[in-house]
A and B are shown apart, each in its own frame.
Chain A
Amino acid sequence: MNNIAYDQELDCKGLNCPLPILKTKKQVDAMEIGQVLKMESTDPGSISDMNAWTKRTGHELISHIEDGGIYTFYVKKT
């Protein structure tokens, strides 16, 4: 389940709300449609926030994995 292919990655570990969302937005904006971003965060709020953000913007949240306090998100730009 950790073998999702991605084109770019973003480290938001240690950052607090709303920075993970703001940085994700900035990076996704600079990507091509169809590309996948892997984002890692330690903010427990980012699970709910990433769901809300993708729902609002229409980008696809392919999956999120939680492991030892690190949340990994895969977002596909639409």
Chain B
Amino acid sequence: MSETKKMALIASQGTLDWAYPPFILASTAAAMDMEVQIFFTFYGLTLLKKEIKAKVAPQANPSMPMKMPFGPKGFQNINWPMPNILMGNVPGFETMATSLMKKTFKNKGVATIEELRDICLEAGVKFIGCTMTMDVFGFDKDEFIDGVVVGGAATFLEFAVEADIQLFI
């Protein structure tokens, strides 16, 4: 086997759908014996909180297929058309869409964000919180899970410059 490969990720989004890619890639890369660092910045920082409250924002994703997590398979496979007026104006729509997505993911045997994050930590993935955005958003390191290191752009770049894969998510 060749020398250890490295992957550097920037996680910049805090919605449920965007929370998946960094944790899926990081946990899998670690399982493939790669050394991984994730730099959490802007809304991505919320993924470091002890309790993740990520939601999906259907209004920001007009092509999001809306699926029902219950009923016969034919019913579950229907793409429900969701007019923008409904997504934007009905109170609680985001909460409902989030709940439906979580149920569908669970039914399909997809891990939760929290599970994937735990696996990452167990596998030695290094989490870095961006100090500048922490300051801007008023986040304290104590609000984050244990094991988070804080740093700035130079901290990320020092690792990324030697990494074989660098992705901005």
Contacts and interface: CB of A to CB of B under 8 A. Distances in A.
Contacts of B110: 16-17, 19
A56 B24 contact: no
B46 interface: no
A22 interface: yes
Question: Per DSSP, are chain A's interface residues mostly helix, strand or loop, or mixed?
Answer: helix
A58 B24 CA distance: 21
B154 interface: no
Given A18-B27, A18-B28, A56 B109 contact: no
Interface string B22-33: 001001100111
Given A21-B28, A22-B28, A57-B1, A16 B109 contact: yes
A65 interface: no
Interface residues on B, range: 10 to 19
Interface string A17-60: 11101101100000000000000000100000000110011100
A15 interface: yes
B32 A56 contact: yes
Contacts of A25: 31
A78 B20 CA distance: 31
Contact of A19 (B1, B32, B33, B111): B111
A47 B164 CA distance: 25
A19 to B, nearest CB: 5
B55 to A, nearest CB: 21
Contact of A16 (B1, B28, B31, B108): B108
Closest 7 CB pairs of A and B: A25-B31, A15-B109, A56-B32, A16-B109, A18-B28, A58-B1, A14-B109
20 contacts: A14-B109, A16-B108, A16-B109, A16-B110, A18-B24, A18-B31, A18-B111, A18-B116, A19-B110, A21-B28, A21-B31, A22-B27, A22-B28, A22-B111, A24-B31, A25-B31, A56-B33, A57-B1, A57-B32, A57-B33
